[in-house]
Amino acid sequence: MKLNLKNIFAFFLAVALTAGCEGFLDEENPAEVLIENYETESGYEGLINATYASLREVYAPTPYMFTAGTDLFFGAHQEVPLGLSAYQTLTPGNTQVRDFFQTLYQTIQIANIAIEYGNRSQQFEELPVRIAEARTIRAFYYFLLVQHFGDVTLVTEMIQEPISHFDREEAASVYEFIISELEDAIEVLPMTQSDFGRVTKRAAQHLLAKVYLTRAYEDFGSPSDFTTAAELADAAINNQPLNLEFSELFRYQNDVNEEILWSIQYSEGSTQTGLTHNWDYPWGPLAQDSDDGVNKKNVLHPTEYLYTLFSDADTRFEGTFLNIRTAPYSGYVLDPDNSPVLYYYPRTEEQLANVDAWRAENPASRANTVISPIGPHWWDGLNQTDYPALRKFDRLRNSQVQYTHDIYLARLGETYLIAAEAYFQAGDPTTAAERINEVRRRAAAPGQEDQMLISESDISIDFILDERARELAGEGHRWHDLKRTGTLMERTKLYNPEIKGIFDSGTDPFLGANGEYKILRPIPLSAISLDDGDYPQNPAYE
């Protein structure tokens, strides 16, 4: 794998000198900034801002790498890369895999530059914390790489001259590096930061807990990794209960809230020339009229499993999906009292029994609403317009509003579920149930808290995966969850109709070369062809 210095530094300069995010990530003037200025306090702060801004590059594309080919969403449009949604045609030439691999290494180099210049910079009070922030971001990127690709190259220093060959480090060594980096960062990072969005000690503890949890399932992992993961998750929780209603977590313009430990930020001013994300687009339904304020298509369709996973007492369904569709689409946010409701999607017994009362609450906008109760048409991939849409990352664009929802990398609800999984696997289902019940108690409809609580006998890995689906659907964790727990093939065969159809026809879409299964992604052809030595492919793609 040959890294092109010209491309690395062109990318770095383009991002580092012009990136801006809300709060502390203010825009820099590229005409006035020279690389030597990174040795000054103000210049180095700009370099750290660029390291944060590099997160946008990783998360900018439609999130196929994180959410396609799982038990929660199936490919419902030819636009979806078939190799990622159904695995059978996944090859080393896949564009999305190539871009993901390349972008991660480019952004790692930005972090490496930030860490290198931290050693050169003039001293100032926050310098050790800023270096720890850059090391955390770099560790996060390597965590993404090792989960998707297994053995990968560790590039830990700023590249200053062409290198024609790299070796792939064993995944065990990559995990050791990630853990060492995060442990060192945790010693330095503060519990809170004055700028929302900077990495804190709790965010790094959350990430390290997930790293230990993931490694524990690997052949080179240890049962003690589960215990360590549980302890770190509890440290990140820091005795903070879940106080917000679930629907508040993703409410319009409520991206900065008490349960967000770490997020990728997007402000109106910093997204005018790009660097937004496409995480609102693939969930549909089709909404592309000029007045809609959104651009959506039925690309990744929710499965029957996901739609039917929520009990009547669980408000996370309405917090995850829109149970109405207004005209225009963005009317539900911008003018909910006066926007006509085209569709209403009742699902609980109470909702189904009280449709007339629902109409009477606002007859002016609901008199002509089509009532579309839960049923097979919801999970029919050919249904383009009439099903509840995933609402978590809606990005609104019209003449008055330019809003891109933040992407949450670590939030407290998931921290509780990381702790629960780790405690369960460490042989402590009682504490696991306590952590899950904190999540479920918050999700309960008023007066129905007792119906949501579970006991330790209810817990299994399948239950934990169900609970993670209810809490985290669409947030970019699902592919990692299934790979980590060794359930990717089993659960997609059972719940993903696209993949199930291939299995039912007599073909195993995961079976690759050498009798190996396509659990890891392929190393891109470009990385192999540019390396002057032997850069091995993952066995299923040889």
pLDDT digits (tens, 9 = 90+) for 178-218: 999 999 999 999 999 999 999 999 999 999 999 999 999 99
Tally of CB atoms within 10 A around 128: 14
Task: Please report, rounded to a whole number, the percentage of residues in the chain having pLDDT higher than 90.
Answer: 89
- Are residue 374 and residue 446 in the same domain, yes or no? no
The domain boundary residue, chosen from 429, 455, 476: 476
In a domain, 331, yes or no: yes
Taking the C-alpha atoms of residue 142 and residue 208, their distance in angstroms, rounded to an integer, is: 12
| 491 within some domain | no
Residue 465 inside a domain? The answer is: yes
Looking at the fold, whether 366 and 462 belong to one and the same domain comes out as no
| Residue 440 pLDDT > 50 | yes
28 and 135 housed in the same domain: yes
pLDDT computed for residue 37 by the predictor: 85
Q: Is residue 490 part of a domain?
A: no
47 with 178, same domain: the answer is: yes
145 and 9 co-located in one domain: yes
Structural domain ending residue among the three candidates 394, 424, 455? 394
Q: Kindly state whether residues 239 and 303 are assigned to the same domain.
A: no
pLDDT for 22:
37
Query: Is residue 342 one of the residues assigned to a domain?
Result: yes
Residue 394 burial by Cβ neighbours in a 10 Å radius (0-12, 13-18, 19+): buried
| Residue at 211 is within a domain | yes
Per-residue pLDDT, averaged over 397-401, amounts to 88
Q: What percent of the chain lies above the pLDDT cut of 70?
A: 92
Better-predicted residue by pLDDT, 490 or 162: 490
SS3 182: helix
Higher confidence at residue 397 or residue 210?
210
DSSP letter at 506? T
Give the separation between CA 452 and CA 332, rounded to whole angstroms: 28
State residue 371's pLDDT score.
Answer: 98
Task: For residue 253, give the CATH number of its domain.
Answer: 1.25.40.900
Whether residue 258 sits in one domain with residue 308? no
Model confidence band, residue 275 (pLDDT cutoffs 50, 70, 90)? confident
5 has pLDDT over 60: no
For residue 107, being part of any structural domain is answered with yes
pLDDT for res 269: 67
DSSP 126-150: THHHHHHHHHHHHHHHHHHHHHHHS
Residues 382 and 413 in one domain: no
pLDDT confidence of residue 14: 37
pLDDT above 60 for 46:
yes
* pLDDT for the residue numbered 478: 98
- Range(s) of the domain holding residue 432: 199-265+406-476
pTM: 0.93
Mark whether 316 and 437 lie in a shared domain.
no
Can you tell me the mean pLDDT for 107-123?
95
Among the listed residues 140, 119, 422, 418, the one whose alpha carbon sits nearest the alpha carbon of residue 263: 140
CA 120 → CA 18, 24, 53, 117, 131, distances in Å? 22, 22, 22, 5, 11
Nearest to 261 by CA among 224, 318, 330, 209: 209
Answer yes or no: do 430 and 313 share one domain. Answer: no
Sequence length of the chain is: 542
Give domain status of residue 326, yes or no. yes
Predicted local confidence at residue 270, as pLDDT? 67
The pLDDT assigned to 399 comes to: 85
Do 376 and 445 fall into the same domain? no
Tell me the pairing of strands 396-397 and 370-371. unpaired
For residues 327 and 464, state if they share a domain: no
Q: Where does a domain end: 367, 394, 421?
A: 394
pLDDT over 70 at 454, yes or no: yes
Cα–Cα distance, 302 to 186 (Å, whole number): 38
In this prediction, residue 268 has a pLDDT band, given cuts at 50, 70 and 90, of: confident
Q: Would you say residue 506 has pLDDT above 50?
A: yes
pLDDT given at position 21? 35
Q: 19: pLDDT confidence band, cut at 50, 70 and 90?
A: very low
pLDDT at residue 20 is higher than 80: no
User: Could you give the number of structural domains in the chain?
Assistant: 3
- Pull the structure tokens for residue 367: 């008199």
CATH of the domain at 52: 1.25.40.390
Residue 12, pLDDT score: 38
3-state secondary structure of 377: helix
pLDDT of residue 161: 84
Q: What is the pLDDT of residue 272?
A: 62
Question: To the nearest whole number, what is the mean pLDDT of the chain?
Answer: 92
